[in-house]
Structure 1
Amino acid sequence: MSVTGRERAEATTGRYAFEQFFAVRRHQPGALAFSPDGRHVYVSTDISGQFNLWRIPVEGGWPDQLTLFEDRTVRMAAAHPQSDRIVFLADRDGNEFWQLFELDVRGGWPRQLTSREDVRYEMGAGAFSPDGRRIAYAGNQRTPTEVDVFVRELPDGEPRLVLSTGEYLVPVAWAPDGRRLTVVAFHANTDQDVYVLDLTDGSHRNVTPHEGEAVHFPERWLPDGSGFLVVSNRDREFSGLAIVRPDRPGVLEWIYTPEWDVENVELAPDGQVALVSVNEGGISRLRLVEVPSGRVVTEPPVPEGVLASVRFSPDGSHAALLLATPRRAAELYTLRLADGRVTRITSSMLGGIPEEALAAPELVTFPTFDGRQIPAWLYRPRGASPGAPAPVALSIHGGPEAQERPAYHPLYQYLLHRGIGILAPNIRGSTGYGISYQRLIHRDWGGGELRDIEAAARYLQSLPWVDRRRLAIFGGSFGGFATLSAVTRLPQYWAAAVDIVGPSNLVTFVRSVPPTWQRFMKRWVGDPDEDREMLLERSPITYVDQVRAPLLVIQGQNDPRVVKAESDQMVERLRALGRPVDYVVFEDEGHGFTRRANLQRAYRLTADFLERHLLPGR
């Protein structure tokens, strides 16, 4: 193996190499499950270089690889309640046409249950019926724009269409009697209903009727079948935890209503308590909450960070937690309920960098045009001072209805190590700060949030340790759109920019999204016909001639959300104008990077590009 000049220099000076920061294992939060005997945890991780299913002893130990995919990504998994079988979803090369598989984890090969590679199938963590004979899942196989619910007898039964309403439906959990299913109907990101489907006669009932918009997401049923838990923000700014009883439609029996969002909920098998994580300003706070009183029994001593997923073992003795901190990538922990002992059972950090050498962010706020204070995570590189000002890269998260949180980010840590600061704001439209703040992005892409980005640039310029002439901006998905908006409409601030799978033209973007998304686009972004002028006025492509900063564009060939044509048209226009633009297409990826090698290459390109323009001469 050859050693590059940079690696030799880094070894001599005591610097850490790029690869060390990226020597981490990643996990898929939806593929976390316990074996029926509670002795093992199933997880999808990229130990092999691609996301495959693995089995890990609950007290820690050597993991067993259960699938050997090279071109597929395991996204979601559900364990059989009595046997060593598991069903899971996987797609090919990031195309998001998730297919359903079954696997006997004692040995054997995954058996593909669906084979419509033009259809996206979905399921919940409770896909198996209580007796383990049936699975419930959803798919748009009947018509591309609608998602229906199916039930299938295992091992060889034919799928049976059990609910079709012309909406986007996904089954979530079986009732203990095995006769009923909760089904969530997605009307918008901020508006859902829950139907209870009776499989004996095919009838269904909306048990969360409401006026206006409200989030309703069902969790597990109570053991007696009288109702189920639901996370909702109806008539509230933040999401709380309630019980819904099918015989009292529209009534929420509130259990726990903190002044932050309830984000993860897992009901114990006996129904007496629930593990509830609350997103307090971006940090997950885990509590054991009594049901139905809402009394906080205890706060388990988990590391302070971001909790992505939580599952109870079948006997309720343990919980599995997938959690990341600013200085450690997501790890799998087990919590023993009897004594509160927390054990880390994975080792995701493989680069040999001590945690004290990594940076933790500072939570800051800065004012924006309408008087709001924008929250942000500020990472300051060591040595930056008024006498030695540092460049800073502004990182815009995707979504846009998502949140920048203090979890390990290898690119941030590498750039900080090289002397480049990071400001990662939660501009309007971000989740975690109340539903009113989240809704500000609806039908306002390229509007108020762009002014928040300008406020972020001005805030950075006000810091005495920041070099105001060396600011960059980067982001993926919506963050890519925001990056393109910033370099085209606020060109005076940037020395460089990196767009990863970002829309450039809102009219063509809205027309090209997956069929199941089309029903949401008018409420979310705009109608390509009725709102054409507004969408063009907000599109980066309209202002391409104003670009001054060199730009790197990264795109996945198979991206179904932001199709390659979005990047193509921006790059073609820039090249026609003679503007500096680098363009890299990943032929075997979609909306993001599932292969570890591709992730490293994409971020290596990003890091090299930013260093070249922010650290000239190094």
Structure 2
Amino acid sequence: MKSTTACMASILTLVMAAPLVATPVWAEPAAQASPTAEAPRTYSAAEFYQTRSYGMSSAAGLGFSPDGRSILISSDQTGVFNTYALPVDGGEPVPLSASTTVATFAESYFPQDGRVLMTADSGGGGSELTHVYVRELDGTVRDLTPGEAVKADLLGWNAARDTFWITSNARDPEVFDLYAYDADTYESRLIFENPGVLIADVSPDGRWLAIDKPVTSADSDVYLVDLQGDREPRLVTAHEGAVAHATYAFTPDSRQLVYGTNAHGEFWQAWTHDLATGEKSPLIQADWDVEFVSFSPSGRYRVSALNADASTELTLLDTSTGRPVQLAGMPGGDIGQVRYNADETRIAFTVSSDTSPNDVWTADLVTGEARRLLTALSPAINEADLVESAVIRYAASDGTIIPGVLYRPKGASAANPAPAIVMVHGGPGGQSTRGYSAQVQHLVNHGYVVLAANNRGSSGYGKTFFHMDDRAHGEADLQDIVDAGQWLRQQDWVADDQVAVMGGSYGGFLTAAALAFHPEAFDAGINIYGVTNWVRTLESIPAWWGAQRDALFDEMGDPATDAKRHRRISPLFHAANIRRPMLVVQGANDPRVLPVESEELVAALRANDVPVEYVLFPDEGHGFRGRENRITAQEAYLAFLNRYVRK
């Protein structure tokens, strides 16, 4: 389970293999496997980003139209994400929104007609102040959650399909209340006034509300609220010590709550809580984290996933037989985003791999026949020119074993050593996983080794590893990144004098910190909206983070009491130590890492005559949505690396 404090969202890519049991489609190869002799063609950033991104309706929504003839998807095929109806029988997606500036995402069909729920930033690109909109049958769009500083999201539908639930901070910017909306009139009513917790799910019958309450980054609880009773939260997960819990889902019959817990070992397990008796039972136990559990509306099918060594293994279980579903005609790859039609005879899903982004597929659950509807990879790119990753491990300076995901360019050898990049994920508490990345594949295609390091504090490797950097950020985890660079230099197929560091969000912080506190460790750094002044950043956390902010403060330290340490680890206050070139990339609307974080560091480096380049996107926030902006950023990464790293 990913940390709730992660600054960057993770895309779950799920693995399912025919015939019956879901297994990874890769084996861990040797880090120094023989490179392919034939040199691949190189492609431009524009060609990589002409690849289309496809996503299904949200997990809370209804993915198929009521007549079963179309699937609700999101796509950036115009350069900006919009909502589309994809014909099940094949054909081009039909646009349902036409934004040219703000990403608009598919959420749900209405159960009885062709109306559609969508979400989009209301405060401009990257503001994260999402509103929920309805697209009427005549194509007009209505904002269901108006308000200048409102953030709202779809939580789901009831079993009767006459009510949908939305969370909104309209009443209090620091918390999300729960509202019920009538599917015909859109009349809303407040059904739970949030005291400062995380609303997780509502039972299909509308009676029970599950809420999660972080106490610390290592300790959290699940509560139940009887919406037809006294509405007083009741603790479900009484425990002693630091144990984490979180809601997965209610069962479709509204009889059980499925929740996650790491009370029984290093990894998250799925357990059930009987809503009538309170009895608890294990549902899924494994040697990796259970990422999630979900059900088809009738409960016949259950989807669950394990975070298995940077790759997510998915099982689609037919509960009537107790066996995984068998699909025919499937390629190798990771299955994700499973959605069901009304009678559960058909599913839609995505398939991806290291060398192929999300393609959209559909399958008949009666016959098991699967069929591809959309191909995401640009036709200009030959998939054979791209590279598969390998999971490697290296020893940090103190002996801790650190996992990472390695991409080795074709042709890299002792006779032809390649320049390299240590890629640092966001967080704190994120994880680098296997799967398609245009950013990574473009750099590898141009001859750069990429090692995506999962430094201590990363999720996915057990709770001990996850908490190894608590109150030690920018210190223990930073050394792991420095040691990743050293591991690369020890490979005879890496040019040991051409190693850079690069990352976004928390990874951008570690990038800047590496150049400030280990000024000789890397030849250059690319800081993508990274924190440079923790004192200011922690004081400016958006109000709507609410309970998550408390957990973040527990992990990072409270700015009211730990400002001295925050100042000590902040690259801005040690910019005089930086001697190696830096590229800084920032979104002007970023609510998490304010632009001033980047601007002050850039000014300090310029004052010290350190080579620094700065790219600012006026219409982006914490992560770049617009295709042209992503192309511009990618071109800047490669040009900078070629200028300052490749020799």
Q: Displacement, 1:507? A: 0.8
Partner of 2:561: 530
Code of the residue aligned with 2:609 in structure 1: it is G
Q: Secondary structure at the match of 1:491?
A: coil
Q: Specify every segment of 5 or more residues in structure 1 that has no aligned partner in the other structure, as ranges.
A: 1-12
Quote the offset at 1:356 in angstroms.
Answer: 1.0
Bigger drift between 583-592 and 192-201 goes to 192-201
2:100 is aligned to: 70
Aligned counterparts of 2:356 and 2:343: Cα–Cα separation in 1 = 30
Which residue does 1:4 correspond to in 2?
A: none
- Offset from partner CA, 1:168-194 (integer Å, 9 cap, x none): 33252342x344444444556655544
Q: Does the alignment pair 1:605 with 2:636?
A: yes
The 5 A counterparts of 1:365-444 are 365-444=393-472
For 2:71, the equivalent position in structure 1 comes to: 41
Mapped pair 1:592 → 2:623: yes
Q: Which moved more, 1:282-291 or 1:179-188?
A: 179-188
Q: Is 2:145 the partner of 1:109?
A: no
Q: Which residue of 2 aligns with 1:3?
A: none
CA contact (8 A) 1:99 1:117 kept: no
For 1:583, the equivalent position in structure 2 comes to 614
1:346-357 alignment to 2 at 5 Å?
Answer: 346-357=374-385
Q: Deviations over 1:427-478 (max 9, x none)?
A: 1122221222222233222021111112101101110111111101111111
Letter in 2 for 1:579: V
1:141 to 166, 170, 183: 170
Q: Residue in 1 aligned with 2:44?
A: 17
Contact 1:477 1:500 in 2 (8 A): yes
- TM-score, normalisation: structure 2: 0.87
Distance 2:556 2:275 in 1: 34
The 3 A distance-change label for structure 1 pair 165 and 529 is: same
Q: C-alpha distance in 2, partners of 1:482/1:589?
A: 22
Following the alignment from structure 2 to structure 1, what is the Cα–Cα distance between the partners of residues 300 and 220?
Answer: 27
SS class of match (2:224): strand
For residues 332 and 430 of structure 2, what CA distance do their matches in structure 1 show? 20
CA deviations on 1:386-410 (whole Å, 9 max, x unpaired) are: 2222110111111232221221222
Corresponding residue of 2:3: none
Alpha-carbon distance in structure 2 between the residues aligned to 1:560 and 1:146:
17
2:244 equivalent in structure 1: 214
Describe how 1:475-486 pairs up with structure 2 within 5 A. Answer: 475-486=503-514
Q: Which residue of 1 aligns with 2:14?
A: none
Superposed displacement of residue 281, structure 1: 1.1
Distance 1:339 1:580 in 2: 61
Alignment check: 8 A CA contact 1:137 1:150 kept = yes
3-state DSSP class of the match of 1:566?
Answer: helix
**2:225 and 2:234 in contact (8 A); partners too:** no
Distance 1:368 1:499, change over 3 A: same
Kindly indicate whether residue 484 of structure 2 is the aligned counterpart of residue 452 of structure 1.
no
**1:551 corresponds to:** 582
CA contact (8 A) 1:364 1:376 kept: yes
CA deviation map 1:523-563 (0-9, x unaligned): 12111121111111221123211112111101101101111
- C-alpha distance in structure 2 between counterparts of 1:58 and 1:241, whole Å: 34
Q: Is the 2:84–2:106 contact (alpha carbons within 8 Å) kept by the matching residues of 1? A: no
2:350 is the alignment partner of 1:318: no
Following superposition of structure 1 onto structure 2, how do residues 153-164 of structure 1 map, counting pairs within 5 Å? Answer: 153-164=182-193
* Cα 1:252–1:369 shift into 2, 3 Å: farther
1:223-273 deviations in Å (ceiling 9; x for gaps) = 2x2123334433332223332222344x43212212112224331333233
TM-score, length basis structure 1: 0.90
Are the counterparts in 1 of residues 397 and 483 from structure 2 also a CA contact under 8 Å? yes
Q: C-alpha offsets along residues 54-78 of structure 1, whole Å, 9 cap, x if unaligned?
A: 1112343221111112222234613
Cα deviation, residue 158, structure 1: 4.5
One of 296, 318, 321 as aligned partner of 1:268? 296
> Relative contact order: is structure 1 or structure 2 higher (C-alpha 8 Å, sep ≥ 6)?
2
Could you say if the C-alpha distance between residues 405 and 490 of structure 1 is closer, same or farther in structure 2, counting changes exceeding 3 Å? same
Whole-Å separation in 1 of the counterparts to 2:371 and 2:286: 28
Q: Distance in 1 between matches of 2:288 and 2:528?
A: 31
Distance 1:115 1:81 in 2: 24
Change (3 A) 1:604 1:308: farther
Partner Cα distance (1:544, 1:299) in 2: 57
Q: What CA distance in whole angstroms lies between the structure 2 residues aligned with 1:441 and 1:171?
A: 27
C-alpha contact (below 8 Å) 1:21/1:351 kept by paired residues: no
User: Residue deviations 1:295-334, cap 9 Å, x none?
Assistant: 5535657555445522233322222223321001122222
Listed as ranges, the matches of 1:270-349 within 5 Å are: 270-289=298-317, 291=319, 295-298=322-325, 300=327, 303-349=331-377
Q: Given that residues 80 and 128 in structure 1 are in contact (C-alpha distance below 8 angstroms), is that contact kept between their aligned partners in structure 2?
A: no
Aligned amino acid, residue 108 of structure 1: G
* Contact residue 78 and residue 128 of structure 1 kept, 8 A: no
Contact 2:534 2:566 in 1 (8 A): yes
CA drift at 1:207:
5.2
- 1:97 corresponds to 2:129: yes
- 2:609 and 2:399 map into 1 onto residues whose CA distance is 39
In the aligned structure 2, how far is the partner of 1:245 from the partner of 1:552? 54
Partner of 2:592: 561
SS state of the match for residue 641, structure 2?
helix
Q: How many residues align?
A: 597
- 1:215 is displaced (CA, Å) by 2.7
User: CA 1:584–1:384 in 2, change beyond 3 Å: closer, same or farther?
Assistant: same
Q: Look up the match of 1:514.
A: 542
Letter in 2 for 1:241: A
Q: Find the residue that maps to 1:31 and give its secondary structure.
A: coil
**Quick check: 1:238 aligned with 2:238?**
no
Q: 1:436 to 1:172 in 2, by over 3 A?
A: same
Q: What is the CA–CA distance in structure 1 between the aligned matches of 2:466 and 2:388, rounded to whole Å?
A: 26
Q: Report the 3-state secondary structure (helix = DSSP H, G, I; strand = E; otherwise coil) of the residue aligned with 2:100.
A: coil
Single out whichever of 461-470 and 152-161 deviates more from structure 2.
Answer: 152-161
Q: Is the 8 A contact 1:558 1:587 kept in 2?
A: yes
CA contact 2:132–2:154 (8 Å) conserved in 1 = no
Q: Which moved more, 1:254-263 or 1:146-155?
A: 146-155
Of the structure 1 ranges 492-501 and 382-391, higher mean CA displacement relative to structure 2 is found in 382-391
Quick one: which amino acid aligns to residue 448 of structure 1? A
Q: Which residue identity is paired with 1:603?
A: Q
The answer to whether the 8 Å contact 2:57/2:72 transfers is no
State the AA in 1 paired with 2:265.
Answer: R
Give the unaligned 5+ runs of structure 2.
1-39
One of 54, 57, 67 as aligned partner of 1:27:
54
